[in-house]
Amino acid sequence: MRAISRSLLLIILALSASVVLAEGNEFYKRGAEGWFWYHDPEPEPEPEKPKKKELPPMPAPKPSEAESKEVPKGPPSFSVQWYQENMEQVLNRAIDNPTEENVAAYFFIHRVMMDKANQFAVSARKVSMEHPQLDEMTRKAAGGAANRLTEKQQLTILSDLADRIARQDGAIWYWYSNDVYSKKMSRIVKNLRNQTGIPVIAFSVTGEPPEGEAADWFPNYVIGNGNAARRVGVTHTPALALALTSGNVELISHGMMGLSRIKDRLVIAADKLNLLEEDELNIYQGRLPGSDLIDPDSLPEFEGNDTDKILEVMGETFNY
């Protein structure tokens, strides 16, 4: 055991000496590196700090609804809408404080609008010449000669109408009472009968005969029991209606009315009863043949007021 131990000890010493020698040589090779206390060990790397997550930039605040809305602009200066909104104020200011400046401002605005109206009138004449369908002269004759011709045609139509009413045993029904208006109206109804030849049946709503001259004009009066008046819609006197023996009745007028207006309404009532020929109503009203009125219900509907769309509808209406 001792021999073995001594041998092991020698081996260990030999190995230790070689290690020390090697380390010594290595030390001298490093030169001025110095003693071990001059040689600080390399610092351990500091652990990386976790990077803070960058938040996305805050969106810019949206403007409030009041701020986002643009201030509505007023109508263009000197437009019709501007005129309607401002003219009265300018005038009132000039009246309340009639300085030269305030009065001049009012009359300048007035002059501008008059000139705009004149420009519109000039353009209207050009349009009427280029589009005869829009020219009222092609629809209703005007002037002295045209009026005389219209009156002559009206007499012819009334004469023909009287013959048609007579063939159907028709008549004008006249409701009256003994008031001042019925008395005056009786003379007008008598003239209507004399000029047209259409018979008149007088109804007394009071049960009494007509008084004065009316007694001679309507000797064969009838006591009205109210049934016919209620059926036609008569509410007060004097009143007129056009009646046919077929039972068809069209109310002409209530209250006192002039002869020319009664004739106009008589023709309209006759048209409702299909007593007029084609275009006779137009001719009686002074409109030329073929100048039928535009039926608004026949026009197509569209949104807005675009000029091109309106002209498109005009072209379809007049078959351009």
CA distances from 144 to 80, 102, 137, 150, 155 (A): 36, 46, 14, 10, 17
Q: Is residue 59 pLDDT above 50, yes or no?
A: yes
Percentage of residues of the chain with pLDDT beyond 90:
37
Distance of alpha carbon 231 from alpha carbon 247, whole angstroms: 11
The DSSP bridge pattern shows strands 239-243 and 171-176 to be antiparallel
Residue 12 confidence class, pLDDT cut points 50, 70, 90: very low
Token reading at 305:
């007021």
Report pLDDT for 267: 94
Q: Is the pTM for the entire model greater than 0.85?
A: no
| Mean pLDDT of all residues in 256-273 | 93
Q: Is residue 3 pLDDT above 80, yes or no?
A: no
Report pLDDT for 2: 47
Q: Using one digit for the tens of pLDDT, what is the confidence trace for 79-116? A: 999 999 999 999 999 999 999 999 999 999 999 999 99
List the strands of the sheet with 222-223, edge to edge. 222-223, 200-204, 171-176, 239-243, 249-254
Whether cis (ω within 30° of 0) applies to the bond prior to 238 is yes
Are the C-beta atoms of residues 138 and 291 closer than 8 Å to each other? Answer: yes
Report pLDDT for 284: 87
Lowest mean pLDDT among 34-43, 75-84, 234-243, 278-287: 34-43
Residues 6+ apart with CB under 8 A from 310: none
